[in-house]
């Protein structure tokens, strides 16, 4: 067979590892695919920064590489929206298959890319976009295609999981733990995308799109980060036999009238220490999937890093190359369900609420009256301390998030409540 000619866009941490894998495993890849893989060009911004790569492969003209008739497959590890979106659309429109790790682009413009791929018959693979080395998207897209997935819940950001795990282990606060994560290389110089939940929200949109056969974009995802998580929150979770994780939660929900929709959210939550996700620590990722026939499954592994992510990228490249050798193509976009996105306010959640209260008779009855007024049921209540240190901790049963928010807002205005110290959602068994 003639070689499968590949162009690489970007050669940073992940791209360098992709080049290494293609070089070190060249003979094995040829046997697995049925044809050799030939790297014909690498687009970078500063060629002099890539001395580990053969100089004749480097170019600063990514567009020319995409348009070249000598390229069959484009592998993109640049990241970002522009100019990447235009480059990948150009490649797909020309019938070149694309392998990408770009979660932000897929979450914002996935439909455009899928439509271009469908129109030309090209493949679009993106396993590395959500959970690094963890085989997750292909099982959702292919292995579970005969099942009905009802829920996907997971830890999909290594930086925030490292921070929360360290806070749980040491009792330290958020700011000092973030500094430690930066020192160890787990957090970027600007950690906004991670700690404010943008990265996880993009991944949640991709997961929901595949799981529920519906186009879900990042704007459909409710998002909260971990900046407000305190050492007191972690300690409170421990007291309840729980731990705090930043979760991406994608659910198929049914209204009282029988109308189905999807609820997609990213936020910190307390989960039982007995839950499989509770033991996922450090920079590791894990995703818990529930399906009607298959039941409960968990996918676990390294969710980031150059070599783990490159493993998923090269795995996609092998799949694309095999399709080319067999004169076929991979799965197309499945968005037939076209379910609407449920607003966060209508989504059932549970809250853990910590209140600084006056130590006087009738406090609990006044607080309980507000819960009853908003039709929110209390699952557990605990009062701690006396006088100036008096506090009230309440855990609710499930209610709409809007009702819970309204309840907290009104409680904060009660004369007997000095401060709403913290509010955190609770997931898992009641």
Residues 1-22: tens digit of each pLDDT = 799 999 999 999 999 999 999 9
Q: Is the pLDDT of residue 430 over 70?
A: no
Q: Is 49 annotated as a binding residue?
A: no
User: Cis ω on the peptide bond leading into residue 83 (within 30° of 0)?
Assistant: yes
**All CATH 3.30.70.260 domain ranges in the chain, comma separated:** 345-426
Q: Is 315 annotated as a binding residue?
A: no
Q: Which pLDDT belongs to residue 50? A: 87
Residues 352-372: tens digit of each pLDDT = 999 999 888 889 999 999 999
Residue 382: pLDDT band with limits 50, 70, 90: confident
Domain 4-132+306-326 part of CATH 3.40.50.300: no
Q: Mean per-residue pLDDT for 88-110?
A: 97
**In this structure, are residues 343 and 264 in contact, taking their beta carbons and an 8 Å threshold?**
no
**All CATH 3.40.50.720 domain ranges in the chain, comma separated:** 4-132+306-326
Task: Kindly give the pairing relationship between strand 260-272 and strand 222-223.
Answer: parallel
Q: Is the pLDDT of residue 73 over 80?
A: yes
Residues 223-268: tens digit of each pLDDT = 999 999 999 999 999 988 999 999 999 999 998 888 999 999 999 9
Q: Which pLDDT belongs to residue 150? A: 97
Q: Is 177 annotated as a binding residue?
A: no
Least confident of 33-37, 319-323, 388-392: 388-392
Q: Is 14 annotated as a binding residue?
A: yes
Q: Is 197 annotated as a binding residue?
A: no
Q: Which pLDDT belongs to residue 256? A: 82
Q: Is 10 annotated as a binding residue?
A: yes
Q: Which pLDDT belongs to residue 321? A: 98
Q: Which pLDDT belongs to residue 362? A: 87
Q: Mean per-residue pLDDT for 383-403?
A: 86
Least confident of 31-40, 83-92, 366-375, 381-390: 381-390
Q: Which of 203, 238, 245, 360 is catalytic?
A: 203
The C-alpha atoms of residue 354 and residue 422 are separated, in whole angstroms, by 5
Q: Which pLDDT belongs to residue 429? A: 75
Q: Mean per-residue pLDDT for 41-66?
A: 93
Residue 384: pLDDT band with limits 50, 70, 90: confident
Q: Is the pLDDT of residue 386 over 90?
A: no
Residues 112-164: tens digit of each pLDDT = 999 999 999 999 999 999 999 999 999 999 999 999 999 999 999 999 999 99
CATH hierarchy code of domain 137-302: 3.30.360.10
The C-alpha atoms of residue 419 and residue 166 are separated, in whole angstroms, by 27
Task: Say whether 203 is catalytic.
Answer: yes
Domain 345-426 part of CATH 3.30.70.260: yes
**All CATH 3.30.360.10 domain ranges in the chain, comma separated:** 137-302
Residue 319: pLDDT band with limits 50, 70, 90: very high
Q: Mean per-residue pLDDT for 97-103?
A: 97
Q: Which pLDDT belongs to residue 387? A: 59
Q: Is 188 annotated as a binding residue?
A: yes
pTM, full prediction? 0.94
Q: Is 121 annotated as a binding residue?
A: no
């Amino acid at each position: 067979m003639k070689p499968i000619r590949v162009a690489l866009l970007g050669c940073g941490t992940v791209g360098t590892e992709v080049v290494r894998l293609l070089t070190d495993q060249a003979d094995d890849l040829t046997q697995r695919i049925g044809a050799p893989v030939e790297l014909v060009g690498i687009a970078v911004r500063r060629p002099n920064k890539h001395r580990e790569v053969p100089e004749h492969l480097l170019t600063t003209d990514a567009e020319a590489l995409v348009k070249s008739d000598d390229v069959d497959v484009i592998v993109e590890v640049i990241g970002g929206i522009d100019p990447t979106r235009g480059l990948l659309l150009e490649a797909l429109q020309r019938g070149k298959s694309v392998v990408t790790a770009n979660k932000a682009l897929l979450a914002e413009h996935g439909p455009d890319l899928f439509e271009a791929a469908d129109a030309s018959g090209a493949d679009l693979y993106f396993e590395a976009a959500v959970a690094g080395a963890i085989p997750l998207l292909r099982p959702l897209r292919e292995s579970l295609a005969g099942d009905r997935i009802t829920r996907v819940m997971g830890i999909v950001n290594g930086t925030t999981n490292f921070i929360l795990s360290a806070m749980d282990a040491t009792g330290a606060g958020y700011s000092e733990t973030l500094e430690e994560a930066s020192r160890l290389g787990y957090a970027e110089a600007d950690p906004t995308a991670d700690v404010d939940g943008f990265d996880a929200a993009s991944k949640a949109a991709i997961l929901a799109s595949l799981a529920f056969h519906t186009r879900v974009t990042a704007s459909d995802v409710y998002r909260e980060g971990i900046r407000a998580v305190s050492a007191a929150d972690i300690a409170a979770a421990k007291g309840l036999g729980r731990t705090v994780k930043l979760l991406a939660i994608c659910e198929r929900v049914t209204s009282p009238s029988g109308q189905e929709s999807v609820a997609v959210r990213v936020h910190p939550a307390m989960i039982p220490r007995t839950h499989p996700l509770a033991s996922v620590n450090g920079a590791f990722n894990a995703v818990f999937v529930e399906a009607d026939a298959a039941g409960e499954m968990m996918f676990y592994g390294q969710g980031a890093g150059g070599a783990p992510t490159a493993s998923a990228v090269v795995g996609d490249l092998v799949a694309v190359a095999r399709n080319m050798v067999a004169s076929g193509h991979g799965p197309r976009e499945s968005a037939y369900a076209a379910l609407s996105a449920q607003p966060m306010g209508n989504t059932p959640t549970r809250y853990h609420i910590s209140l600084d209260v006056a130590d006087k008779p009738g406090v609990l009855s006044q607080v309980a009256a507000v819960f009853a007024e908003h039709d929110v049921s209390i699952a557990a209540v605990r009062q701690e301390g006396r006088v100036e240190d008096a506090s009230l901790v309440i855990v609710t049963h499930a209610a709409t998030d809007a009702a819970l928010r309204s309840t907290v807002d009104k409680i904060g205005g009660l004369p007997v409540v000095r401060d709403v110290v913290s509010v955190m959602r609770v997931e898992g068994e009641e």
